Chains A and B, each alone.
Chain A
Amino acid sequence: MLESQLQALAASAQQRIDAAASPDALEAVRVEVLGRKGALAEVSKGMGKLTPTDRVRIGKLLNSTKTTLESALDARLKSFADAALAARLDAEWLDVTLPAPGTRPGALHPLTRIQQELEDLFTSMGVAVLDGPEVESEYNNFDALNIPPDHPARDMQDTFWLSSGQCLRTHTSPVQVRGMAKLGPPLLMIAPGRVFRNEEVDASHEHTFYQLEGMMVDRNVSIAHMLYFMRTLLKHIFNREVTVRLRPGYFPFVEPGFELDIQCLICNGSGCPVCKQSGWVELLPCGLVHPNVLRMGGIDPDRWGGFAFGLGLTRLVMMRYGIDDIRWLQSGDLRFLRQF
């Protein structure tokens, strides 16, 4: 009798749980069925009239019914919570394609990029990075580099002279002079920086541009050493093996002096417009340091020797990024600069 009553109760409660439309409706079921004054409690009141055997049996049934209904209630409750969460999450949809606010990192100037790249490379090769001023003495810019007054080589570099008799450095080579004084032999240094030439500006000429000077002074420095250093350097700059050649070039601060050409990277030497069909591109002047330069730098040329080179950073930047007009570099135009 109690047994069938319990079963009917459980079945109807399960039906109501399944049919509940809200957590509140479920709570009502819980109170009516499982509450202190609920249906199950009513049933348990009749337990006292039962035989001990029946009491045990019905008691178990009562408990299992209670447990079943409780877990059914919980499960149903959880499904409401899950649905509510899912609904909330769905409502929180955002358009991820909208632009993000805030500023973006700015661009480093392409000349800065190349300079930093080269500084890192040279530093890794054990080379010190030195600086020199934009305004130089005539002595450092010319005389100490074996270019005395009235030497025709002064014509090779149209110079901005200052009212003081000083000049805007025409090359980074005066840092050789400063480097020898500062470091003494043996030394291995580079000096990137801004240089000036008094010439009209057009797409390929600037009065302000950037060079990188390099100098090594040690015992027994040979052309073979210089070639090795240059090849290593260029391999890293261009990120591939390069074929180089030396040919005579005249620069008063080196003897012998060279122009270093690289085999054209566009046509690999077979000839193209970039190399003017020659297969070679003139890249940098270099040479063994002239004994007069060592001497003026306080270094004994009988005991020490060296090589030096000058790399056109501006030209390298233009080659690297395919920039066709040198004037962009100092234009301050963000339409250009933001590309880097």
Chain B
Amino acid sequence: MKFSYNWIREMVDGLDVAPHDLMQLITIKTAECEGVEEAGSHFAKVVAARVLEAEPIPGSHNRKARIDAGPLGERTLVCGASNCRAGLLTAYVPSGTGLEGTHIGKRVVSGIESDGMLASARELGINKDHETIVELDAVTPGESLPRLQPDHLIEVDNKSLTHRPDLWGHHGMAREVSAITGKPLRDPVDMTRIPQGPAPVKIAIEDFTLCPRYSALAFENVTVQASPLWFQHRLQILGLNPINNIVDVTNYVMAELAQPMHAFDAGKLAGDTIFVRNAREGETADALNGETYALTPAALVIADASGPIAIAGVIGGAHSAIGDSTTRLVLESANFHAACVRRTSSRLKLRTDASMRFEKSQDPVNTVRALARAVELLELVSPGIRLVGGLGDLAAPPKPAPVIELHMDWLIRKLGRDIEPAEVQRILEALHFTVEAPAAGVFIVTVPSWRATKDISIKDDLIEEIGRMIGYATITPVAPVTPTEAPADNPRRRFHRQLRQLVTAQGFDEVYNYSFLSEDDARRFSLDPAAHVTVANPISIDQALLRQTLIPGIWKNIQENSKHFDEFRLFEIGYEIHRRADALPEEVPHLAAAVYQKTKEAGPLYEAKRLAECILPGCELRPAGDAAVHEHPARTAGILWRGETVGRLFEFHPNFVEGRAVVVDLNLGRIEAMGSPEKRYQPVRRYPESAFDLSVIGQRRTLAGDVEKLIRGFAGPQLESIRFLRQYEGAPLADGAKSISFRLVVASRDHTLSNEEVTAVRDAIIDGMRREGFDMRV
């Protein structure tokens, strides 16, 4: 929202704060400003001039003009406008003037030295007309253009005005500035302008919740023409395009008082009643912007006997729009339910200056004020215009103004600093609250109507009013008194932090991937898109699903990084999001770690396994028979830990990754739930140990882990440790056979084992293994 500094100054008598300083004050006390920019600074130099003569320049569409610029004297210049003619009063931009970023100087055009220029309205920033130079009347050459002055625009962040319906107009901001600076506020509204008498327009409101008030005036003898240039300029710099004098007045009042208005061509209305009602099923509205909108009963419309003439609070209709032929008009100034306007505007994807204001909850008191102001302005811009009859005004019973009891001791406690009651009263009154003091230390505060619609209803809202006006810088920080207690533990975060430490220590770099997944990627990994949590309004189709696994993200990381590195390790700790009926999705923390090597050789499977063993000491891998489409079918395993499957280890299928990439995917939720095994001290063994090696002959795919387990079983309690040494295939072994060798260490807790005892253990193993069908190399 942009505010004209000049406009504010018109309503704050004696305002002597420069634009930039005013912006700072507004930022500190009211709402965040985004900057100040100059607007129309050239009007300090542009003057009225009379064209004395204008002659065509042969071979060019330009004219050579001699002008009278009053005290500046006569000048000669070249002008390309078709309306440049002798006798015309127009705007002269002397050389040396900056015009919207362009420097106007003396230059030779069509062989003639041109001293300055005659300007179009677009060049002067007044409107979009660039066909002709501006035409003035009743001005004296050499004087400034009437009421066109250099101005500054203060831009305020719209978000910080969300709760302030009153600040969507200049008068509201002027009220703030008046309270901040202590300068008196001038009200531009003269309520005596509202005519008395019966209203020519009947109003019928179906639902007063959706339309708490509808006010209207009728006019005749209307002349539709362009507004005065200064009037247009005011709108133009705020981004409100000048259209014609009537529409401009509605926009002007909106910019000033925050009350959106709409003008209907009375000659095009059917019947004498304006209906405010919900749209009927299947109804459409042809809008001013040339679009046709299909409406639902949730939308509120303004209608005449023939149908919708406007979408309430959003946009007017095309049929009844003000045009050159308009001679009579009905001026609407209404109040609509904020949420209803917002819903309709979002559904139609049509945000307008009106809907933006209405959705902030406008003040119903404002409708008639706006009409009073419009009467005055219409008389100014449409000479001869006449009111017809009196005010049409239908409203729900006014809501009583909120009354808030404010206790000084409570206020002081919330602010954290002392403040005198007199100052509290002064501040609230400067902001137009009504303040009574029935007892010492208590105020009864009545909220003004324009702050009462949504903004202020409870005493906490008043802390802000007092606080911002005294200035938060006057509050000295005070240490809170907090209980000395150890904060509640967060075991999950602690666990994840330990893991990150451990995994990075093993050489893995941490990545963060998005929570989104594309349908394509889901299908690529043979996942059913329909089984995912789906985003209803994704930015792009790539982000339509929420991930149920971290693997597609890790796969992308591998693809991208393999372009730059021959070998790398990376991991992510993130959440799988699984759909659940009638509840929030289940979010399961997972660790996914990958080792990549460009090689075609054996690959880094055992390195990945080592990582799993570092995280889960004693975990076991079991070959998985159910390899997924992205998994290498002969290199995929479940990870078992303390009897539970807690994850998966797999090499990416060569269809997915060139080179070798092995992934460990752990369900951290499950691992965390299992807790850490309790540690108990075991006395250190005092008797010496004995070691021997054993080799078992198995088939090529005999699992060393299975063999080891069998040996453990046969070895009995004296087995201290068993360690895999090597495996071997080839002569003299039969084709398809392999030998797996282990080193075993045996010992006893209460004596030194004799040779016979050691041999007995060894023999028991050999016998046992033979019974299991294994040959032994002894």
Chain A residues engaging chain B, CB cutoff 8 angstroms:
103-109, 111-112, 116, 119, 123, 126-131, 133-137, 149-153, 155-156, 159-164, 166, 168, 183, 186, 188, 194, 196, 198-201, 207-208, 216, 218, 220-225, 227-229, 231, 245-250, 252, 255-259, 276, 288, 290-291, 305, 329-335, 337-338
B1-49 residues at the A interface, CB under 8 angstroms:
27-32, 35
The distance from the CB of B494 to the nearest CB of chain A, in whole angstroms, is 9
Instruction: State the CA gap A207–B164 with chains docked (Å).
Output: 28
Contact partners of B585 in chain A: CB under 8 A: 133, 135, 166
Instruction: State the CA gap A333–B510 with chains docked (Å).
Output: 10
Q: What 9 A-B pairs are tightest by C-beta distance, nearest first?
A: A224-B416, A222-B416, A103-B507, A256-B464, A150-B339, A228-B477, A246-B472, A332-B557, A128-B487
Contact partners of A127 in chain B: CB under 8 A: 487
Within 8 Å of chain A (Cβ to Cβ): is B742?
no
* Sample (29) of A-B pairs whose CB atoms are under 8 Å apart: A106-B510, A111-B512, A116-B497, A126-B486, A127-B487, A133-B575, A135-B546, A137-B584, A150-B339, A150-B342, A156-B159, A163-B534, A208-B515, A224-B416, A225-B478, A227-B475, A228-B478, A245-B472, A246-B472, A247-B27, A247-B29, A249-B160, A250-B164, A255-B461, A256-B463, A329-B512, A334-B564, A337-B509, A337-B570
Within 8 Å of chain A (Cβ to Cβ): is B734?
no
Within 8 Å of chain A (Cβ to Cβ): is B523?
no
Residue pair B475, A224 in contact (C-beta under 8 Å): yes
Residue pair A337, B510 in contact (C-beta under 8 Å): yes
Given A188-B487, A248-B464, A290-B460, check contact A223 B415 (CB 8 Å). yes
Within 8 Å of chain A (Cβ to Cβ): is B577?
yes
Residue pair B515, A168 in contact (C-beta under 8 Å): yes
Residue pair B537, A160 in contact (C-beta under 8 Å): yes
Residue pair A250, B537 in contact (C-beta under 8 Å): no
Contact partners of B477 in chain A: CB under 8 A: 224-225, 227-228, 231
Instruction: State the CA gap A201–B467 with chains docked (Å).
Output: 37
Closest to B589 in A: A131
Within 8 Å of chain A (Cβ to Cβ): is B369?
no
Residue pair B513, A129 in contact (C-beta under 8 Å): no
Instruction: State the CA gap A149–B534 with chains docked (Å).
Output: 22
Instruction: Mark contacts of B534-567 with chain A using CB atoms, 8 A cut-off: 1 yes-contact digit, 0 otherwise.
Output: 1111110001001000000100110011001100
Closest to A225 in B: B480
| From A109, A129, A161, contact of B511 by CB (8 A) | A109
Instruction: Mark contacts of B456-467 with chain A using CB atoms, 8 A cut-off: 1 yes-contact digit, 0 otherwise.
Output: 001011011001
The distance from the CB of A181 to the nearest CB of chain B, in whole angstroms, is 13
Residue pair A224, B556 in contact (C-beta under 8 Å): no
Contact partners of B426 in chain A: CB under 8 A: none
| From A128, A131, A151, A333, contact of B561 by CB (8 A) | A333
| From B343, B415, B488, contact of A128 by CB (8 A) | B488
Given A135-B577, A188-B487, check contact A150 B338 (CB 8 Å). yes
Residue pair A135, B587 in contact (C-beta under 8 Å): yes
Within 8 Å of chain A (Cβ to Cβ): is B682?
no
- Pair count A-B, CB < 8 A: 246
Instruction: Mark contacts of B378-410 with chain A using CB atoms, 8 A cut-off: 1 yes-contact digit, 0 otherwise.
Output: 000000000000000000000000000000000
Instruction: State the CA gap A264–B342 with chains docked (Å).
Output: 38
| From B359, B487, B507, contact of A126 by CB (8 A) | B487
- Among A155, A201, A250, chain B packs the most CB atoms within 10 A around the CB of A250
Within 8 Å of chain A (Cβ to Cβ): is B414?
yes
Closest to A252 in B: B163
Given A106-B570, A196-B515, A248-B31, check contact A131 B492 (CB 8 Å). yes
Given A152-B360, A188-B487, check contact A288 B476 (CB 8 Å). no
Instruction: State the CA gap A137–B508 with chains docked (Å).
Output: 35
Residue pair B515, A222 in contact (C-beta under 8 Å): no
Contact partners of B458 in chain A: CB under 8 A: 255, 291
Within 8 Å of chain A (Cβ to Cβ): is B420?
no
B110-144 residues at the A interface, CB under 8 angstroms:
none
Instruction: State the CA gap A221–B413 with chains docked (Å).
Output: 8
Given A150-B342, A334-B570, check contact A250 B160 (CB 8 Å). yes
Given A112-B500, A152-B360, A216-B480, check contact A107 B509 (CB 8 Å). yes
| From A128, A133, A166, A334, contact of B490 by CB (8 A) | A128
Residue pair B493, A131 in contact (C-beta under 8 Å): yes
Instruction: State the CA gap A119–B553 with chains docked (Å).
Output: 27
Within 8 Å of chain A (Cβ to Cβ): is B417?
yes
The distance from the CB of B18 to the nearest CB of chain A, in whole angstroms, is 16
Contact partners of B560 in chain A: CB under 8 A: 331-333
Instruction: State the CA gap A224–B419 with chains docked (Å).
Output: 14
Within 8 Å of chain A (Cβ to Cβ): is B479?
yes
- Among A127, A216, A222, A248, chain B packs the most CB atoms within 10 A around the CB of A248
Instruction: State the CA gap A218–B477 with chains docked (Å).
Output: 17
Closest to B487 in A: A128
Given A128-B487, A160-B535, A228-B479, check contact A247 B510 (CB 8 Å). no
Contact partners of A135 in chain B: CB under 8 A: 533, 546, 577, 584-585, 587
Residue pair A131, B500 in contact (C-beta under 8 Å): no
Residue pair B29, A248 in contact (C-beta under 8 Å): yes
Contact partners of A106 in chain B: CB under 8 A: 503-510, 569-571
Instruction: State the CA gap A199–B565 with chains docked (Å).
Output: 32
Given A224-B415, A334-B561, check contact A288 B488 (CB 8 Å). no
- Other than the known A105-B505, A338-B509, what 19 A-B pairs have Cβ atoms closer than 8 Å? A106-B508, A108-B500, A126-B487, A133-B584, A134-B546, A134-B577, A135-B546, A135-B584, A135-B587, A152-B360, A153-B163, A163-B534, A164-B533, A198-B539, A255-B458, A255-B463, A332-B513, A332-B553, A337-B511
The distance from the CB of B591 to the nearest CB of chain A, in whole angstroms, is 13
Contact partners of A136 in chain B: CB under 8 A: 584
Contact partners of A166 in chain B: CB under 8 A: 584-585
The distance from the CB of B766 to the nearest CB of chain A, in whole angstroms, is 39
Contact partners of A255 in chain B: CB under 8 A: 458, 460-461, 463-464
Within 8 Å of chain A (Cβ to Cβ): is B568?
yes
| From B28, B160, B338, B515, contact of A152 by CB (8 A) | B338
